Amino acid sequence: MQANIIISKPVKTLKGTIQLTGSKSECNRALIIEALSKGMVKVENMSDAADAVTLSYQLSVVGGQLESQRVNSQLTTDNSQLVDIGPAGTAMRFLTAYLPLQNQEFTLTGTRRMQQRPIGILVDAMSKLGAHIEYELNEGYPPLNIKPGFEQKTNTISIKGDVSSQYITALLLIASSLPQGLTLQIEGELTSKPYVEMTLAMLQQTGIQYTWEGNSIHIANQPFAETTLVIEPDWSAASYWYAIAALCDEAELFLPALKPYSLQGDSVITEIMANFGITSQFKDGGVYLQKQVKPILRKVFDMKECPDLAQTVIVVCAALGHDATFTGLETLKIKETDRIAALQNELAKIGVKLIEKGQVYKLDCSGKHIPEKVTIHTYEDHRMAMAFAPLALIVPQVEVEDPMVVEKSYPAFWKDLEKAGFVVNSIA
């Protein structure tokens, strides 16, 4: 079992340069596009996030680039090819759409938590398209048995807009490879729209044209163009540095290679953190963060289009004693953990309540207190670890359980904290 760590920050200032890994979101999309393109699309600046590494590896096995590994240890007792993505939720969604097109038999599985995360909506959509997918244990959940013999039955699929955007992205990624193409009818309001826009923009970069009119997205059958996709650094990773800056007395930090006009919806962190006095200046091929002391006026934060920033922003508000209200958190309960329950449990350790009223969540900081030490449980969720780490700027000692969960999206996080002046110690 891995050791817990204790983090502290004796000096409440931040200065320097932090080089972030490539975007996990962009990289996972690029890897599927690369695999579908059969050599026409190349990927540069690969993310070293565990999710991206896992997806890259499994696509190599499926594609036969790792033939000996595939033969020696990747076959199940029924001779289907085992594809185990561990805790990588994006890989589960994207491969559920990708593997039925490969004309082989696969067993697609993951961790115990992954087997509790719903996949039924996407399986239903793929089955309507012509895929042969069966549930091995529980209806609507992994593991999946995927049979060969895909023959497209329809070119139109309806899917609810308020489910995970990864379901929609998974279908859009394979659309141009379907013999009849695909028209996706989105029912109701679209949650996490920037992630869908990212997918379409990346497809367009690789020569795939689309139309989006009203709630209908259409992609015809068409070939990929010869392209290189260069992955931008991860704005989700950048968000933790914005949170740290917001809790510092003084902050001047440079994050190289981040762009002002990013495909990543999480780049909205620049606007959100402006409410906490963090200015973002794009120059010298990156972004400079600077802290300016100002009163916090904004009371309502809508996280519908950037749910992966929710924990970060909620913890910053709690740390500052700011009684904010949050909306757009509907998808947080089906992530790596139930992130609402996890936030409520851990914020209670500093006396802050996150109160749920329908689809509105209110912070009550009236009982906030600063203990000498707080221990944060991470629930096998990388974002819980990184969202709560900035508390070390207000709590003398923050102990983090299972700290290596950060490998899922930002493996160098703890080392980067040390570069920035945090003290990070492992404990038995």
Count of domains forming the chain? 2
Q: Both 121 and 136 in a single domain?
A: yes
Domain boundary among 209, 230, 251: 230
Rounded distance between C-alpha atoms, residue 361 and residue 307, angstroms: 13
List the one residue out of 345, 363, 384 whose CA is nearest residue 300. Answer: 363
Tell me the pLDDT band of 78, cut-offs 50, 70 and 90: low
Query: Contact at 8 Å (CB) between 319 and 391?
Result: yes
Residue range 315-319: average pLDDT?
Answer: 98
How does the average pLDDT of the chain come out, rounded?
Answer: 93
Taking only the tens place, the pLDDT of each residue in 113-148 is 899 999 999 999 999 999 999 999 999 999 999 999
Percent of the chain whose pLDDT exceeds 90: 85
The residue type found at 207 is: G
Are both 414 and 300 inside the same structural domain? yes
Mean pLDDT lowest among 71-75, 249-253, 420-424? 71-75
pLDDT one-digit tens code per residue, 362-394: 999 999 999 999 999 999 999 999 999 999 999
As a whole number of angstroms, the distance between CA 205 and CA 41 comes to: 10
* pLDDT bracket for residue 331 (50, 70, 90): confident
Residue 67: give the domain boundaries. 24-230
Between helix 24-37 and helix 165-175 the angle, nearest 10°, is 30
Domain closes at, from 201, 230, 259:
230
**Would the pLDDT of 76 be above 70?**
no
Q: What is the DSSP string of 286-315?
A: EEEEEE--------EEE-TT-GGGHHHHHH
Do 131 and 240 belong together in one domain? no
Q: Are residues 137 and 159 in the same domain?
A: yes
Which entry of 51, 234, 266, 308 is annotated as an active-site residue? 308
How high is the pLDDT of residue 275?
97
Same domain, 140 and 226: yes
Together in a domain, 195 and 279 = no
Distances (CA, A) of 386 to 86, 238, 342: 20, 11, 13
Q: Which residues, 6 or more positions from 296, have their beta carbon under 8 angstroms from its beta carbon?
A: 275, 276, 320, 322
Same domain, 149 and 292: no
Beta carbons of 15 and 252 less than 8 angstroms apart: yes
Mark whether 174 and 61 lie in a shared domain: yes
Is the confidence at residue 70, as pLDDT, over 80? no
CB 218, CB 182: distance < 8 Å:
yes
Give CA angle at 29 (26, 31), nearest 5°.
105
In a shared domain, residues 333 and 359: yes
Q: What is the pLDDT of residues 171-201, one digit of tens each?
A: 999 999 999 999 999 999 888 889 999 999 9
Torsion of the alpha carbons at 36, 38, 44 and 45, rounded to the nearest 10: 40
In this structure, what CATH number is given to the domain that contains residue 322? Answer: 3.65.10.10
Same-domain status, 207 and 334 = no
Examine the domain organization and report whether 187 and 269 are in the same domain: no
Let me know whether 61 and 165 are in one domain: yes
Domain boundary among 180, 203, 230: 230
Q: 65 pLDDT band (50/70/90 cuts)?
A: low
Is 249 in the active site? no
